[in-house]
Amino acid sequence: MLKIRYASLDDEPFAHEVLRVLIQPHLDFVDHGAYLDAGSARDGLAQHPVDLLFLDIQLQTCTGLEFLAQYERPTFATVLVTAYAQYALEAFGLGVRDYLLKPMSGERLALCLERIRPLVDLGAPEPLRHVSGRLAFSTGRSHLLEAPGAIAAVDAYGNFSRLCRVPSAMGAEPNPLISESLKSLEIRLEPFGFLRCHKGHLVNLAHVIGLDAAGVHLSDGSSRPVGRAYRQSLLNALGMKLQ
C-alpha cells in the first residue's frame, strides 16, 4: 500500500488531535508533522516534504491563505480545515483541493480523502505520481488515466480545467472536464513537457508546431493565445529567439 504523507498546520493543539483520531482508520495516510505556527510549518515542510497539508485559516501571525500564497508552486495538495465558510472562493482560487468546516466529521473527512487519493496515489515520481506512463485526473464522478502525449493542451474552465486531446486519442468524450484548477495542473504537468502560455492555457510542447503574433499553434490544428508574461519562457522552452 502506497503511503500518503500528510501534515497539519493549526494553532490549536486539540485540532491536530481530532484530525489524528479521525484519519486513523485510513491506513494509507501517515502523519508527518503537526505545526502550531507558520514559521515552524515552513521550515518543517522544507525538511520533511509531504503529499497533503491540512491547513487552518486563522493562524497567529498570518492567515492560512497567506501562508499558502507564499508557495508559487507547492508540491503538496492542500485541504483547508476551518470554522469560516466565507473563504472558500479565494481558497479554491489558490488551488485548494477541499474545504472542511469545523467541527469536522469522520464521514466528511473520508469523502475528502477519496478526492485526494487520485492526486497522489497512482504512481511514482514526486510531486506527481503516475502509472505506466499515464496521468490520473478526477472528473468529480470518476477518474481518467491519460498518456501525456494524448493531450495537446489544457484550458481553464473556472475552478475546473478541460483536457484537449489530440484527435487520435478522442473517445466518446473528446475533451473531458476535470475537477482541478489550471494552477494545480501547471505544477503537476510541468515534468511532462507542459508549459503555461497564457493565464488560461497550458500547451504540450511536444505538440507545438509554430509560434507567431497570432499565438502558439498545435498539431491538432488548434491554437492558443500567448500572454506577454509567458512569451519568453515559451520561446526559451522551444529553443527559439525572441522575434
- Mean pLDDT, contiguous 10-residue spans, the chain (243 residues): 88 94 93 95 92 92 90 84 79 78 90 79 38 66 79 91 82 76 84 90 93 92 94 83 45
pLDDT for the residue numbered 149: 87
Distance CA 227, CA 240 (A): 17
Hey, where are the domains in the chain?
Answer: 4-120, 135-238
Among 17, 180, 164, 19, residue whose Cα is nearest residue 98: 180
The C-alpha cell that represents 186 in the structure block:
501547471
Q: Which CATH architecture has domain 135-238?
A: Beta Barrel (2.40)
Give the per-residue pLDDT at 164: 93
- Residue 3 is predicted with a pLDDT of 84
CATH (residue range 4-120): 3.40.50.2300
* Residue 170: predicted pLDDT: 57
CA neighbor of 230 nearest in space, from 221, 211, 162? 211
pLDDT for the residue 242: 45
How many whole angstroms separate alpha carbon 146 and alpha carbon 162? 13
Equal CATH topology for 4-120 and 135-238: no
Please give the pLDDT value at position 169.
61
DSSP string, 20-35: HHHHTT-TTEEEEEEE
